[in-house]
Amino acid sequence: MTHAFRQHSILPGFGLAMGFTVFYLSLIVLIPLGAAFLKTLTMGWTQFWETVSGPRALASYRLSIGASLVAASINSALGLLTAWVLVRYEFPGKRIVDALVDLPFALPTAVAGITLTALFAGNGWVGSWLEPLGIKIAFTWLGVVVALTFIGLPFVVRTVQPVLQELDPEIEEAAATLGASRWQSLKRVVFPELLPAVLTGFALAFARAVGEYGSVIFISGNMPMKTEITPLLIVTKLSQYDYSGATALAVATLAMSFVLLLFINLIQWWSRARYA
Amino acid sequence: MISNSRHPGTKAIGKTEPRWVRALLIAATLLFLGIFLLLPLVVVFTEAFKKGLDVYLESIREPDAAAAIRLTLIAAGIAVPLNLIFGVAAAWAIAKFQFPGKSLLITLIDLPFSVSPVISGLVYVLLFGLQGWLGSWLAERDIKIIFAVPGIVLATIFVTFPFVARELIPLMQSQGSEEEEAARTLGAGGWQTFWRVTVPNIKWGLLYGVILCNARAMGEFGAVSVVSGHIRGVTNTIPLHAEILYNEYNSAAAFAMASLLTLLTLVTIALKALIDWKSRIEVREAPQQALTEGLV
């Protein structure tokens, strides 16, 4: 039967490997996620809609999506700069800096949360510089942006870096030979080549930021309607044993994630079509 | 010190930026990364040692902290090997064979990456919690999954699910299957081919996936926080214990816990850089090796 399903190969183990993959995937991911979706079906449309469109929920989407957009934009600009500096320039300690970019991927989110709070609070190393200027970061929406910027930092750098490395320097030389100024050849030749990678990095950072929990809850202060992100609202509902409310919000968030995933795939498809 | 990496020593007008622009861009990058990456690292350790070494050691040795460390090791010790086996099996099926629905399968494997950690925990509460699908069945048999160790292990498996597979699938796809086919033609058995041909080819990617998987498994917060119930000394992992201490304004002890995870992170990053470097050397040496072997 497997011979009809797959193309013939002399390598063994397809049945075993495929069987285990599908079994484990279903057990760990598909069945639990499916069960969560089924749970919302049992609650009825009116109740679902009331939960996901209540004022507290709307305020949390506004903060989660707004802060994620700001953070992903900061990451796009500074990530592009970082990738550029790491690929094109030489400076002492470059390899350490390059390795350090992965820190937010590997650092547990709770550690990031308490550390950024200590750093940006009014008595923190950075916060005590900003407080006299009237800028409060910890326990305001700016704190959420700071945490999400930290979490999303590696995405744009790591998507742009390989593209920039592969970029043939001859096209810049050609642009220069044809009389383009440095800024013109960057704007007209280099940046358009990097755009799909920046957009992919932006979408990845944004997707990660929307669902982020651990790094945000310490620095945000968690005031309902003001600095409460959607994932925290889900946890709050769960701790009050409001399972259906939590599930409704989770399904709304999942729907947003799937739209994003689709968007990321579209960008990749678009950039492949463009360079094929 | 600042020079164009592609053309060291040459000053090609129009091909690179003026010296002051380069210096400015490097300074801006280092300032940004310094505030966002380096300062947090320094803060973790200064806060952890603020009350001295004795307090630090005491907060790690204290029974609840020791229990949290043990639980974290148990959860990672179960999650990482399972996801390793899964990753290898999935990559073998996807990279070495052609079958319909392959890209759907890859998308499904990636799902846990695009789901909020909070939701990852929630799905298990909905399945095994008291009001969940299997809740009453489990309660009758006195099996506890949510607010107990099994739930924490399950949530950890879920969030670290794609790591090894995600690393191996593109690697094995790019390597193709000619070498394995040659081994089979020369009479090697299935497992022999796998251990002698495939594993040496994918060892760096494998190691890379495992250390990232392990770092995430030990540091996961959102998903385990939802299923744990925060029972001190029983269902707290290191990050959860740090959260409790932090909320009790016991900042030195909280950062002592955080410093353990930060050390793990630093080791992970260093290993990752080492693996990058090692695998790049092997790729560079491989064609030369083939050439000299061909000459002999």
Collect all residues with Cβ–Cβ distance below 8 Å to B54 and sequence separation of at least 6: none
Residues A86 and A20 in one domain: no
Beta bridge partners of B16: B13
Averaged pLDDT for residues B141-165? 93
Residues A175 and A103 in one domain: yes
Please say if the pLDDT value at position B212 is more than 60: yes
Contact indicator for A210, A68 with CB cutoff of 8 Å: yes
Contacts of B261 in chain A (CB under 8 A): 107-108, 111
Residues A93 and A137 in one domain: yes
Share of chain B above pLDDT 90, in %: 65
Residues A34 and A104 in one domain: no
Q: Number of CB pairs < 8 Å for A and B?
A: 300
Predicted confidence at residue B64, as pLDDT, reads: 93
CB contact A110 to B (< 8 Å): yes
What sign results for the dihedral spanned by CA atoms B140, B124, B242, A226? negative
Residue to mutate among B25, B33, B243, with most A CBs inside 10 A, is: B33
pLDDT digits (tens, 9 = 90+) for B82-138: 999 999 999 999 999 999 989 889 989 988 988 899 999 999 998 898 888 888 889
pLDDT digits (tens, 9 = 90+) for B227-266: 998 888 889 999 999 999 999 999 999 999 999 999 999 9
Range(s) of the domain holding residue A209: 47-275
For B120, the closest chain A residue by CA position comes to A33
| Shortest Cα distance, chain A CAs vs residue B175, angstroms | 15
Please say if the pLDDT value at position B147 is more than 80: yes
The structural domain count of chain A equals: 2
Report helix, strand or coil for B4: strand
Rounded to two decimals, the ipTM of the complex is 0.87
Contact indicator for B41, A103 with CB cutoff of 8 Å: yes
Residues A12 and A56 in one domain: no
DSSP label at B16?
A: B
Predicted confidence at residue B172, as pLDDT, reads: 93
For chain B, what is the radius of gyration of the CA atoms? 24
Residues A168 and A126 in one domain: yes
Residues A25 and A111 in one domain: no
Residues A88 and A35 in one domain: no
Predicted confidence at residue A275, as pLDDT, reads: 62
Please say if the pLDDT value at position B294 is more than 50: no
- pLDDT tens track of chain A, all 276 residues? 445 677 777 888 899 999 999 999 999 999 998 887 787 777 788 888 888 999 999 999 999 999 999 999 999 999 999 999 999 999 999 999 999 999 999 999 999 999 999 999 988 999 999 988 989 998 999 999 999 999 999 999 999 999 999 988 888 888 888 888 888 888 888 888 898 899 889 988 998 999 999 999 999 988 889 999 999 999 999 888 888 889 899 988 888 777 877 877 787 788 777 765
Please say if the pLDDT value at position B9 is more than 80: no
Residues A28 and A140 in one domain: no
Residues A75 and A178 in one domain: yes
Residues A23 and A55 in one domain: no
Give me the DSSP letters along A116-168.
Answer: HHHHHSTTSTTHHHHGGGT---TTSHHHHHHHHHHHHHHHHHHHHHHHHHHS-
What is the band of B296 on the pLDDT scale with cuts at 50, 70, 90? Answer: very low
For A91, which of B2, B194, B273 is closest by C-beta distance?
A: B2
Residues A109 and A141 in one domain: yes
Interface of B with A in 244-273 (CB under 8 A): 246, 251, 254-255, 258, 261-262, 265, 268-270, 272-273
Predicted confidence at residue B271, as pLDDT, reads: 93
pLDDT, chain B, mean: 88
Please say if the pLDDT value at position B290 is more than 70: no
Report helix, strand or coil for B235: coil
> Residue B152 to residues B58, B83, B223, B264: CA-CA distances in angstroms?
26, 15, 8, 20
Higher-confidence residue of B292 and A171: namely A171
What is the band of B286 on the pLDDT scale with cuts at 50, 70, 90? Answer: low
CB contact B275 to A (< 8 Å): no
What is the band of B5 on the pLDDT scale with cuts at 50, 70, 90? Answer: very low
Here the CATH number for the domain that contains residue A239 is 1.10.3720.10
Contacts of B5 in chain A (CB under 8 A): 87-90
Report the distance separating Cα A134 and Cα A245, nearest Å: 38
